[in-house]
Amino acid sequence: MSSVAKIRKGSSGADRRKRPDAGAARRAPAKRRPNIFDRAIAQVPIRRETLRRAGNWLLGGAISAGLVVGVFAMGIPQMAAAALAEGIGHAGFAVRNVEILNRHRADADVVYDIAMSQKSRAMPLVDLAGTRAELMKLGWIADARVSRRLPDTLVVDIVERVPAAIWQYEHRLALIDKDGVVIAPVDDRSMPDLPVVVGPGANRRATQLAALLNGTPSLKPLITAASWQGDRRWDIIFQSGETLKLPEGDAEAAKALTYFASEDRRVRLLGKGLVSFDMRDPSRIVVRVSREPGSKIEPPITAPTAKAVV
């Protein structure tokens, strides 16, 4: 009985040695199927180790770039540069003088104050562009250039506007240049010898008016003002009090003014007590005579014919 039992135990042990261990089978790693990325890497004719090193370099570069961006975001280089510039300023390279070139009418004190109004007077930190922008707001200055002259001088070279006329609008008088830019107010007690343009938008027509008057040099000294009417045409006002109403259009106005000048030389239209000459209609000329009591009325004058105006 006991031998039989031994045989059975032995045979059962042998059977267990012949069968694979179930626990070992579970511990053996299963083969992983290659994914899309692995198949793509396999197609690249570069060793896996080389690719791995390249990936490490790329990762390191990305981290370094992030650190650099962070440093700049915190303003560390700017602060270091500003500190260095201030140190240069303390060493003697700071703005102490302002030299203004080509100034004739602009206010020197205002120009000086603008040039010296700096957040920092250390030469490397002087805001040249900002200083020029402030100078360009001054009426007399058409252009400006600001530069450094080491160790301690700012040079301001300006181009001033040239007055072309006086603009009268809303009971105010102002000097304007040829482009109609307002330069400065005008004191009516000391009026410069310049033509006066009157009305809204008249300042933008100063160049047009100058060309118109230059075509009649005999009349130009006799004209005291020109009023821009309805944004379309000119009324010319003479020193003797008459008003000449010109037609619309540069060419038509020039023809009318030239003809009026020739007739004034021929029969003396101005200074005869007349009020106005209306040449708005090229087909006719209307002369208005004063009817005020006590006004002096000269004998009738032959009105200019319209054929020369057309």
Q: Is 196 helix (H, G, I), strand (E, B) or coil?
A: strand
CB atoms within 10 A of CB 205: 19
Residue 3 lies in a domain: no
Q: Is residue 180 located within the same domain as residue 229?
A: yes
Q: Which domain holds residue 198?
A: 165-289
Provide the domain count of the chain: 2
Cis link prior to 151 (omega < 30° from 0)? yes
pLDDT band for 10, please (50, 70, 90 cuts): very low
| Cβ-Cβ contacts under 8 Å for 86 (sequence gap 6 or more) | 120, 122, 125
Q: Greater confidence, 213 or 48?
A: 213
Q: Is residue 145 located within the same domain as residue 169?
A: no
CATH number of the structural domain spanning residue 88? 3.10.20.310
Residue spans of alpha helices (H) in the chain = 2-18, 22-27, 36-43, 48-73, 76-90, 108-116, 128-135, 206-214, 250-267
Residue 19 lies in a domain: no
pLDDT digits (tens, 9 = 90+) for 69-114: 454 454 445 555 555 545 554 455 688 899 999 999 999 999 999 9
pLDDT of the residue at 78: 55
Sheet holding 243-245, edge to edge: 182-185, 172-176, 165-169, 196-198, 223-229, 233-238, 243-245, 274-278, 286-289
pTM listed for this prediction: 0.61
Residue 38 lies in a domain: no
Boundary of a domain, candidates 138, 160, 182: 160
pLDDT digits (tens, 9 = 90+) for 160-169: 999 999 999 9
Q: Do 130 and 172 contact (CB within 8 A), yes or no? A: no
Boundary of a domain, candidates 118, 144, 160: 160
Per-residue pLDDT for 177 more than 90?
yes
Residue 150 lies in a domain: yes
Q: Do 93 and 123 contact (CB within 8 A), yes or no? A: yes
Q: Is residue 204 located within the same domain as residue 148?
A: no
pLDDT of the residue at 247: 95
Most confident among 17-21, 173-177, 189-193 (mean pLDDT): 173-177
pLDDT of the residue at 273: 84
Boundary of a domain, candidates 98, 130, 160: 160
Residue 51 lies in a domain: no
Q: Do 240 and 221 contact (CB within 8 A), yes or no? A: no
The secondary element (H helix, E strand) that includes residue 277 is strand 274-278
Q: Do 212 and 248 contact (CB within 8 A), yes or no? A: no
Q: Is residue 178 located within the same domain as residue 268?
A: yes
> Smallest Cα–Cα separation from 233: which of 290, 281, 170, 172?
281
Q: Is residue 114 located within the same domain as residue 188?
A: no
Per-residue pLDDT for 298 more than 60?
no
Most confident among 185-189, 277-281, 285-289 (mean pLDDT): 277-281
